[in-house]
Amino acid sequence: MKPIGAYCNIRWLDTNEEVDGYYFSFGEYDDENEPDHDSYGVRDDHIFFYCGGEDSLKSYMTEGAEDFIVVSYELEYDDRDIEHALLMHEAEINK
């Protein structure tokens, strides 16, 4: 299963304050997508930042062009993918 984003703890560089619960989307924002959602259906007002995947997210764990760094993160998966994987597993067991 491919992650669709991550919940991150970040540290603001100007204040050194650590804050948790920021969502980084691995989806795309496009006006052709459902309005105000990323390409995975996550509401835009729940998204703090867009990035290209886990490797891209890891690049924010060091100081760079942004005014924050990612301290830690937990990957988020599409519930539909998880449900599908569980159903496939159950089908395999029940053969």
Q: pLDDT (tens digit, 0 to 9) for every residue of the chain, 95 residues total?
A: 889 999 999 999 999 999 999 999 999 876 665 568 888 889 888 999 999 999 999 999 999 889 999 999 999 998 765 454 445 545 555 55
Q: Return the pLDDT at 85.
A: 46
| pLDDT for residue 89 | 41
Residue 27 and residue 50 in contact, taking contact as beta carbons nearer than 8 Å: yes
Q: Under DSSP, is residue 8 helix (H, G, I), strand (E, B) or coil?
A: strand
* pLDDT of res. 90: 56
Q: Which pTM was predicted?
A: 0.79
Distances (CA, A) of 1 to 36, 43, 78, 84, 85: 25, 21, 8, 10, 8
- At 82, list the tokens: 């998880």
5: exposed, middle or buried (Cβ count in 10 Å: 0-12, 13-18, 19+): buried
